[in-house]
Copies of this chain bind each other. A is one copy, B any other.
Amino acid sequence: MPETNRQVLLKRRPNGMPVPEDFAIVDAPLPEPGDGEVLLRGIYLSLDPYMRGRISGQRSYAKPTELGEVIEGRVVGQVVRSRHAEFHEGDHAFGGYGWQTHSAVPGAGLTKLDPKAAPISTALGILGMPGLTAYAGLKTIGQPKSGETVVISAASGAVGAVAGQLAKREGCRVVGIAGGADKCRYVTQELGFDACLDHRGHLDSALEAAAPKGIDVYFENVGGAVQHAVYPRLNDFGRMIMCGMISEYNDVEPRPGPSLVAAVRKRLKIQGFIVSDHAALRPEYLAMAAPLVRSGALKYREDVVDGIDNAPAAFIGLLQGKNFGKLIVKLGDDPSRA
């Protein structure tokens, strides 16, 4: 067991697209678990678009990461030392904190994981926050009905891949948008979307062809030019599930959005949501999704980057669409996959 806790700190607030110099990698002493706490050795760290907001320091729904602090993040790992009655050395658990190899966290905030039920990394992806995000957005805002056309941007990503598969199960025509031929092939051939469009191509004409009856539900993950191509094709009573706009998170000045005159004429609903507002849906989502993941009916793909030192570069790549599947940093050995 190492003597130190390797951490990534926020050194400087990014101005536009983050650069490696915005982050500092340091070795700190191993944290000491207090009463009721657990020392967790991290195995996988989740990297997610929301983190761009946390390090920006701007007013948002969550407290920003301060300069010099460990960057926020969710971790699965293994208990090294426990001062909580329900956790024991060697237990696998979800709920470690931050871009660091070790964390001392209250046992009350940890969830035990059974590596035999599903790979522990899925607690960061399809059976974790991104999966619940897809479910909550569809259930509370999009409400797609059989026969409707659903368009999903960042379709090969952690949220989009789940959203599209769930909409297919509702009987919808599902059109993905992703970056490049490889991702699009995966989205149609593996995930079973009806079509997938490369956003680097001529999106207007491609959407016209792939969604000839217009678009009823748009699961928005990216913003930018993709949003401007989808918006005019929304049908009357169309719903825009505003999950994220990753392509605009690095803008220094906000970009204009589409004219809202169409929102009046077509009775559109454009609604944002944050998964943490819908934690109450977690049990029903897991009851539905976990068996489908085990049976292989719900598919997922992980993009695993090795080592905490590579977290900043991987995160920058995420903001540029370079990852292919749920982006995860491997922090240490995974004995459950030996």
Contact = CB atoms under 8 A, between A and B. Distances in A.
For chain A, the bracket of interface size reads 35 or more
A261 interface: yes
Interface in A106-148: none
A244 interface: yes
Contacts of A277: 267
Interface in A235-281: 236, 242-245, 248-249, 254-274, 277
A314 B172 CA distance: 48
A274 to B, nearest CB: 6
Contact of A61 (B261, B266, B269): B266
Given A236-B61, A270-B270, A271-B271, A223 B261 contact: yes
A227 interface: yes
A264 B236 contact: no
Given A266-B272, A267-B274, A261 B245 contact: yes
Nearest to A248: B261
Nearest to A53: B265
A336 interface: no
A152 to B, nearest CB: 16
A150 to B, nearest CB: 19
Contacts of A223: 260-261
A268 B272 contact: yes
B271 A268 contact: yes
A180 B254 CA distance: 31
A213 to B, nearest CB: 15
A56 to B, nearest CB: 11
A60 interface: yes
Contact of A270 (B53, B61, B255, B263): B263
Given A257-B257, A259-B257, A270-B270, A61 B242 contact: no
B242 A260 contact: yes
6 closest Cβ contacts across the A-B interface?
A: A256-B256, A254-B259, A270-B270, A263-B272, A264-B272, A257-B257
Interface of A: 53, 60-61, 220, 223, 227, 236, 242-245, 248-249, 254-274, 277
Given A61-B266, A260-B270, A260-B272, 15 more contacts: A61-B265, A242-B264, A243-B264, A245-B261, A245-B264, A248-B259, A254-B261, A256-B256, A256-B257, A257-B260, A264-B272, A267-B277, A268-B270, A268-B272, A269-B270
